[in-house]
């Protein structure tokens, strides 16, 4: 049973949130302030912590920072009745996983808790997988091909789960990561990359938006233009994905590619404004596939623009925003090979 700690100096809020969760089967504790929360955390390993920002003596932000020094895996949901740009950015930078504004609606609160549970369960499964992998690496020679295949299947399952968690948060882009991964792989094949590189870029594509699990769902699916705060929060997803994957025993270029997939060759992209050769070839392939697929697909703020406009975008800006070699390969793929967008999930040949 997942353990949830609710920290709020208002008794009515602690009672209300507890009653929201009790029928959902969670084990719930409450704390009146940050000091009591610290004491309880010393005795109990909580899976999810929900805390108000404005509290006496020690604020929710200070509590958040102290929690993160102790644990990087506990899921933290910040609540506030006085939302501002600075507060939201500070919460995300300090390690908050989600951000709710008061008054708290029951359905939004339960949805946030369920999402936090999914992410925590994923993290726990990942850590267990890493423990199993470490055991394997220490030379347990009796682990044979069946165990290796099981480990590959587990990794495939984690990649699928990572992808599905993002889609659960952002239903308007369901299948986007698979389509981008498959298109990236075919562009790589057109560019004569080796099979290991092709499969790796497919895998990266399947999880390239993993950082979006840190973005509130209502922002991801919002129709119309985003506010300055919302756009700023969305743009954190590249760095968030990088930070998540740097904690996993995977080649560093996977995390780096995910961090760079919104960069542009002329330095106008984000998050770091890289340009030219500062951007990995994998990221330069991924950014083209991402743009083409996104323009071809429906978004909550616009209808699908179609293949012609998508190809015209990369053709017009090849050599400026996008690598010319990658653009040529992508155009050839569609215009000469008549490639059709592939929404299927391919089995990835992990090189363990």
Percent of the chain with pLDDT over 90: 51
pLDDT tier, 82 (very low <50, low <70, confident <90, very high otherwise): confident
Domain formed by 144-335, architecture: Orthogonal Bundle (1.10)
Whether the pLDDT of residue 143 is over 60: the answer is: no
C-alpha torsion sign, points 29, 35, 41, 42: negative
Whether the pLDDT of residue 170 is over 60: the answer is: yes
Whether the pLDDT of residue 97 is over 90: the answer is: no
pLDDT tier, 172 (very low <50, low <70, confident <90, very high otherwise): low
pLDDT tier, 174 (very low <50, low <70, confident <90, very high otherwise): low
Topology agreement, domain 3-116 and domain 144-335 = no
How far apart are alpha carbons 226 and 304 in whole angstroms? Answer: 19
- What's the mean per-residue pLDDT of the chain? 87
CATH class assigned to 3-116: alpha beta
Lookup: tokens for 314: 């990369």
Whether the pLDDT of residue 352 is over 60: the answer is: no
What are the domain boundaries of the chain? Answer: 3-116, 144-335
Whether the pLDDT of residue 160 is over 80: the answer is: no
Q: Write down the pLDDT at residue 220.
A: 79
pLDDT digits (tens, 9 = 90+) for 323-335: 999 999 999 999 9
Q: Tokens 């083409």, residue?
A: 292
pLDDT digits (tens, 9 = 90+) for 16-69: 999 999 999 999 999 999 899 999 999 999 999 999 888 888 887 888 888 888
* Residue 89, helix vs strand vs coil: helix
Phi–psi pair at 84, nearest 5 degrees: -140, 165
Residues 339-349, mean pLDDT to the nearest whole number: 85
Whether the pLDDT of residue 302 is over 80: the answer is: no
pLDDT digits (tens, 9 = 90+) for 225-257: 888 888 888 899 999 999 988 887 777 888 999
Contact 42, 14 (CB under 8 A): no
């Amino acid at each position: 049973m997942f353990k949830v700690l609710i920290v709020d100096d208002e008794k009515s809020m602690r009672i209300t949130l507890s009653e929201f969760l009790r029928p959902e089967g969670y084990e719930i504790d409450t704390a009146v302030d940050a000091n009591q929360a610290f004491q309880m955390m010393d005795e109990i390993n909580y899976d999810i912590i929900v805390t108000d920002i404005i509290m006496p003596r020690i604020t929710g932000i200070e509590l958040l920072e102290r929690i993160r020094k102790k644990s990087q895996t506990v899921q933290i949901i910040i609540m506030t009745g006085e939302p501002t740009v600075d507060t939201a950015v500070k919460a995300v930078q300090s390690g908050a996983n989600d951000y709710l504004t008061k008054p708290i609606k029951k359905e939004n609160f339960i949805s946030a808790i369920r999402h936090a549970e999914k992410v925590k369960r994923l993290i726990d499964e990942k850590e267990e997988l890493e423990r199993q992998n470490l055991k394997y690496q220490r030379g347990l020679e009796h682990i044979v091909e069946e165990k290796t295949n099981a480990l590959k299947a587990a990794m495939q399952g984690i990649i699928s789960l990572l992808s599905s968690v993002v889609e659960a948060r952002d239903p308007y882009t369901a299948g986007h990561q698979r389509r981008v991964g498959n298109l990236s792989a075919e562009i790589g094949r057109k560019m004569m990359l080796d099979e290991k590189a092709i499969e790796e870029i497919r895998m990266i594509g399947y999880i390239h938006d993993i950082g979006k699990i840190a973005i509130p769902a209502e922002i991801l699916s919002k129709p119309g233009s985003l506010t300055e705060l919302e756009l700023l929060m969305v743009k954190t997803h590249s760095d968030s994905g990088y930070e998540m994957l740097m904690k996993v025993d995977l080649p560093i270029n996977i995390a780096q590619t995910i961090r760079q997939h919104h960069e542009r060759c002329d330095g106008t992209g984000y998050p770091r404004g890289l340009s030219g050769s500062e951007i990995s070839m994998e990221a330069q392939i991924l950014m083209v596939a991402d743009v083409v697929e996104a323009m071809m697909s429906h978004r909550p703020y616009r209808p699908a623009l179609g293949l012609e406009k998508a190809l015209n975008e990369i053709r017009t800006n090849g050599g400026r925003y996008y690598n010319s070699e990658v653009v040529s390969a992508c155009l050839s793929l569609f215009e000469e090979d008549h490639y059709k967008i592939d929404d299927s999930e391919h089995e990835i040949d992990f090189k363990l």
